[in-house]
Amino acid sequence: MAKQLFHYVRTLWYLYATFFSAIIIGIVNKCFSGFKSDVILILGAICLHILPTDIFWISFAFEFILVGYFVRKYEDFIKRFLSTSRIKNIILFMITVLYLLLLILFKYDYSVYVSGSNLLTNNPIWHQIFVNAFRFLMGIFGTVAVYNFLNFCYKHLVQHCIGDKIVSSLEKIGIISLEMYVTQWVVVEIIFAYVMQHVLTNFSEFIVNNSYVCYFFWRNIIGAMMTLITYMGCKFLKTTTLGKYIY
């Protein structure tokens, strides 16, 4: 049970990777200022890829978190650069085309789960540098392309097709979606496995043996129930003294 729980917790690697990345950025900003801190952070992101191992996948997450940090830091400069809609649309179009091209060229071997995130692997060094750079550009371009596509759909389609209350509810769920996912990923998988093995198995073997019924029906039913429960749970935790302190 402990081993299984550790496996589920480890799948949330991006949480502690984000935590440690924030600490690194904070320490650098405390010790250095201005352009010097930016150079050190960029060099640090490169150096993290030279580590012999990346158990916590910090080096994989750090570079993406760093981009988000720079976007927030130089937000005013970016807005001035994209002040005209024509320049903004051209850049977004180019990014979307590049993302689709990278998506088409992406191979299974490029996955971080297969090739790893550091440069010291069994692959030739230049091949690993290419793979890491490929993944990084694909992640950045994909984030911008997908975000702007969804933002366009939301502004021009969703708000005109459904009521304000539904939009407001979707926004609230989206705000705490990470909290729900973290809770659900650990809880739902354990509960789903228990229900399938100890409850539904005794009720009918057909439910367990038929993959369509098992995963496309019962898994979604249990998942929907747990989504509602975790939503209400997260909302309640924020009202407690400890919850207020944490959030």
The answer to whether 12 and 185 are in contact (CB under 8 A) is yes
If phi over 0 gives left and psi between -120 and 50 gives alpha, with beta otherwise, what is residue 230? Answer: alpha
Interval 143-195: pLDDT, tens: 999 888 887 777 776 666 666 677 777 777 777 777 667 666 666 667 777 77
Average per-residue pLDDT for the chain: 79
Q: Residue 105 is encoded by which pair of tokens? A: 């060229």
Interval 94-105: pLDDT, tens: 999 999 999 999
238: phi then psi, degrees, rounded to nearest 5: -70, -20
Given pLDDT bands bounded at 50, 70 and 90, which one contains residue 4? Answer: low
Block residue for tokens 């009918």: 204
* Average pLDDT for 34-57: 82
- What is the model's pLDDT at position 138? 93
Q: How far is CA 244 from CA 18, 178, 232, 234, 241, in A?
A: 21, 17, 15, 11, 5
- What is the model's pLDDT at position 242? 73
* Average pLDDT for 203-229: 70
* Average pLDDT for 60-68: 89
- What is the model's pLDDT at position 13? 76
- What is the model's pLDDT at position 42? 92
- CA–CA distance, 224 with 63 (Å, rounded to integer): 34
- CA–CA distance, 88 with 221 (Å, rounded to integer): 43
Q: How far apart are the first and last CA of the chain?
A: 29
Largest CA distance in the chain: 66
Lowest average pLDDT, out of 9-13, 27-31, 108-112, 199-203, goes to 199-203
The answer to whether 210 and 219 are in contact (CB under 8 A) is no
Given pLDDT bands bounded at 50, 70 and 90, which one contains residue 39? Answer: very high
With a pLDDT cut of 70, the percent of the chain lying above it is 75
